[in-house]
Structure 1
Amino acid sequence: MMLSRRILRGRSCLCYLTSATSKTVVATELKPPVFTQFSTSSKSKFDFSYKLNNLYTIKGHYFSTNALESQPVNGIVDIPLAQTGEGIAECELLKWFVQEGDQVEEYQRLCEVQSDKATIEITSRYNGKVAKVLHIPGDMIKVGETLLKLLVDDSSLAHDGAESSLGSDTPDSDDNKAGVKKSQKGEALCTPAVRSLAKEHNIDINDVTGTGKHGRISKEDVLKYALEKGIIDDKPALFNPGSIEPMEGPEEKLHEIADSLYHDKILTLRAYQRAMVKSMTAAASVPHFHYVEEINCDSLIELKSAFQKENTDPEVKFTFLPVLIKALSMALTTHPLVNSTFNLETYEVTLKGSHNIGIAMATPSGLVVPNIKNVQSLSIFEIAKELSRLQKLAMANKLPPADISGGTITLSNIGSIGGKFGSPLINVPEVAIIALGKIQKVAHFADDGTVYPVSLMTVNIAADHRILDGANVAFFCKEWKEYIEKPELLLLRTR
């Protein structure tokens, strides 16, 4: 009797385990098809790696997988702020590209946000209509928080990731239905805004020749067609805020502006400025020491002049910086401890294999430090081109996360503004930063007492005293100085 009870208990326990296992299998089998369906269709259309930390990226645009898992209520889908990068908890909303009532296409830009690392455009996961916008520019939005609500049709949900039809801004009209059918046949490929512009001028969109990819029609194509057919007299003038005189207007307005000069103003730190606060707060916990040296730049000036004369690329302007960066990389090769990062929690120093040299840049949005990757493998001309690219992106506030992250040592060129030297703070977790002063002519004495002019630059190296000591930095700076004062050594020792 006791034996039979044990057998029955064993069977019931086995049945429970089996049923639990089967439930687990079902649970794991239900979710992947949703993900796999998107993965396969995306891979068939685009050749790129698309999964990283639950984030999909297409040409620098981001959309979150949370939108995939959100179940539509009456066709409404929440579009959340995607995880735009490792360690990013919130972003500032810079501007909207759409507004309530607009039709949007798959991969169309919805808004632009800025984290403390980069500026990113969020794109739509679906075709649909903007039902509600939940934030205004300037808002700080946490990752995962809903940006807007999108009214999505059933076909967009069922055939997620495939080519979708294009409609007009008035989805209930007969013209729109015809437009959708024509778009499905591959005709009149354009955005709803372009279709609306054509309709405004009574232009049949199918008569316009598209110059975009796959014959896509742009606003310029519609305006050009309208000009050729005499529908409009001239291209519409663009509004240029810079053309308006700020002090013109009634006398009362001038008094209002004058009075505002004496009122307190509150400025909220955003994006790069917030990143600077965090970085400098972290730097305050690092014991710094500074090493100052003067470098003779006579040969550097001659080399820069020679490079500029031989330069055939109008997009690249040679400065002293590319040579200084390459010389720095050469010195780091024999002093790898200066090109390292420190982890206080594990007491580990990582000697970085790549020389990713950051360049501090002052932009309208604040101080940002993009870095040139793998300088040890680049020529001086390649460094100049990369530096030019980063400067253009920084000034346009369009730096992607890849250009900002991963730096190993930083240069701060305060001399370009006019300072003789500065005392920089380390960009944690790096262990060194160098401030470059202004190159200026000064009088020097020779051994025989004669006076001669020298072009001197003062450099100030700030170092993490937990990792580096005076001797480490002095030997490193001595070699770097030698490469600058004798540029021919760069050619002699470059592998």
Structure 2
Amino acid sequence: MLLSRRILRGRSWTAGRSCSRPLASAPSTTVVATELNSPLITQFSSVAPNSVKSKFDYSSYKVNNFKTMNNLYNIKGHYFSTNTLESEPLNGIVDIPLAQTGEGIAECELLKWFVQEGEQVEEYQRLCEVQSDKATIEITSRYNGTVAKVLHAPGDIIKVGETLLRLTVDDSSVTFDAAESSLGSETSGSGDHKPEVNNSRKGEALCTPAVRSLAKEHNIDINDVTGTGKHGRISKEDVLKYALEKGIIEDKPSLFNPGSIEPMEGPEEKLHEIADSLYHDKILTLRAYQRAMVKSMTAAASVPHFHFVEEINCDSLIELKSAFQKENSDPDIKFTFLPVLIKSLSMALTTHPLVNSTFNLGTHEVTLKGSHNIGIAMATPSGLVVPNIKNVQSLSIFEITKELSRLQKLAMANKLPPADISGGTITLSNIGSIGGKFGSPLINVPEVAIIALGKIQKVAHFREDGTVYPLSLMTVNIAADHRILDGANVAFFCKEWKAYIEKPELLLLHMR
């Protein structure tokens, strides 16, 4: 053992790291560290040099990974991980993998490329756009370089960690990225150094590539911006605020510009393809949102549903919508029945919080949600998607109208971010806008209720004296999780919601 220590101490670590001490539990066999070929890659050999082999037998011992070495010797600061190997360029070529785009995401569909082979790219430049079953995300470059090889075509399903493309880069542009990747693999005993690991380059601001891109767009040195986030992280708002203060921009730009949205390929092209092979079998692969629906509906199948159906008089709702439209001064805003229905629904949820809850079967816990994040089911060219309007309890009807318009535009352009899709607490499915008097919806797990809105129709109704008069009726169907809600819960909730719709003036009495 003493001799093995001398052998190791006689070797130098070209990466600049030293072995602080052998662990007491080290195996009796000896590992010889050969000279490093790279400042980032450590090689271990099961065969010693000739001078050593004559004294020791190494045939029974082999080091297959870096973890074994870490168990043998404590390395100051951090150990070498496989992430380090992946960051090292081979002959100036670096692989760009599909990173983890969200919790539980295992694969994404490649929608389109922003670059092509042979094209020069800069750090933080957009490379491609992918879509998971939750949202659409743009992948940016971490390096300056040239696109050497594009490995996938639009429409391909790519696993997380799989290589998207290869870039030709110079060694200097990847030095920090590899070192940062290695630092990210600290041992649990190096907790004292973790704050340093979370920081970016010395003297460089901590922020996301999107924020750097925004600063670069306005010719702002990101290091001049003061971050208000955790550990001084700089957000988009910080950059925009700085630009306003310095007079770089006159007014804070909207983060959503409908004119910048590139519409997706419409269904007409797909119809032409189908028409060409009308009498032949055709296999259609489910993509993105369609796959999300498969998961959601499979989960819903395990929930014991019951349905509560009610008819609501919408005469007053129609008059209110007409009044709003007459007073509307914004040509981009179109008033519909839905914002009033959403707001009145939130008012009813305030006194019936159990309907606005989520259920965890694993822990048998019901979470009464403090915010009313009301999801709106939308049919898009990419499939059904359910974005939600956050904190409806704090929004006016006008604010709900604008937010609904924003979500609809993003959904149709397939540009919904993860934040707009996640976090819903109850869902509305407005099938009446398409056509249909009655629907039987399935719960969007882990929510405990979903409401299908039918079409508002003029029907003949009888007064108590037998005379007939016209009435605008809408049929609503509330599907509820019978493990959490019973018929009385839903009936009392629907009774209050119905009162707000039939008498909108009650909203003024209870709104805060």
TM over 0.5: yes
In the TM superposition, structure 1's runs of 4+ consecutive aligned residues that sit over 3 Å from their partners are: 14-25, 65-69, 158-161, 212-215, 244-247, 256-259
Aligned residue for 2:346?
329
Distance 1:29 1:392, change over 3 A: same
Alignment partner of 2:90: what SS? coil
1:313 maps onto 2:363 in alignment: no
Aligned equivalent of 2:287, options 270, 273, 281: 270
- CA positional deviation for 1:357: 0.3
Aligned residue for 1:454?
471
Aligned residue for 1:286?
303
Contact 2:356–2:425 under 8 Å retained in 1: yes
Aligned equivalent of 1:345, options 353, 362, 374: 362
1:392 maps onto 2:442 in alignment: no
Distance 1:82 1:379, change over 3 A: same
Distance 1:124 1:322 in 2: 41
Distance 1:133 1:309 in 2: 54
Contact 1:67–1:77 under 8 Å retained in 2: no
Aligned residue for 2:87?
70
Distance 1:117 1:480 in 2: 30
Letter in 1 for 2:76: V
Aligned residue for 2:98?
81
Count of residues in correspondence between the two structures: 367
1:380 maps onto 2:430 in alignment: no
In structure 1, runs of 5+ residues without a counterpart are 1-13, 32-64, 162-211, 216-240, 248-253
Aligned residue for 1:51?
none
Within 5 Å, give how 1:191-202 maps onto structure 2.
none
Aligned equivalent of 1:144, options 157, 161, 164: 161
- CA positional deviation for 1:107: 1.0
Letter in 1 for 2:324: F
Letter in 2 for 1:274: R
- CA positional deviation for 1:28: 2.8
Distance 1:152 1:441 in 2: 68
What's the RMSD between the two structures over aligned residues? 3.1
Aligned residue for 2:241?
none
Aligned residue for 2:504?
487
1:410 maps onto 2:460 in alignment: no
Aligned equivalent of 1:365, options 382, 389, 407: 382
Contact 1:440–1:457 under 8 Å retained in 2: yes
- CA positional deviation for 1:396: 0.1
- CA positional deviation for 1:16: 4.4
Distance 2:22 2:152 in 1: 52
Alignment partner of 1:420: what SS? coil
Distance 1:494 1:346 in 2: 35
- Structure with the higher helix share, 1 or 2: 1
In structure 2, runs of 5+ residues without a counterpart are 1-20, 27-69, 179-216, 221-264
Aligned residue for 1:356?
373
Contact 2:126–2:141 under 8 Å retained in 1: yes
Aligned residue for 1:169?
none
- CA positional deviation for 1:154: 2.6
Distance 1:333 1:259, change over 3 A: closer
Contact 1:325–1:357 under 8 Å retained in 2: yes
Aligned residue for 1:185?
none
Distance 1:259 1:401 in 2: 37
1:26 maps onto 2:76 in alignment: yes
Aligned equivalent of 1:131, options 148, 152, 159: 148
Aligned equivalent of 2:317, options 300, 310, 313: 300
- CA positional deviation for 1:401: 0.6
Distance 1:409 1:245, change over 3 A: closer
Aligned residue for 1:428?
445
Within 5 Å, give how 1:149-228 maps onto structure 2.
149-158=166-175, 213-214=218-219
User: Percent identity over the alignment?
Assistant: 85
Distance 1:302 1:258, change over 3 A: closer
Alignment partner of 2:458: what SS? strand
Within 5 Å, give how 1:8-47 maps onto structure 2.
16=23, 24=74, 26-28=76-78
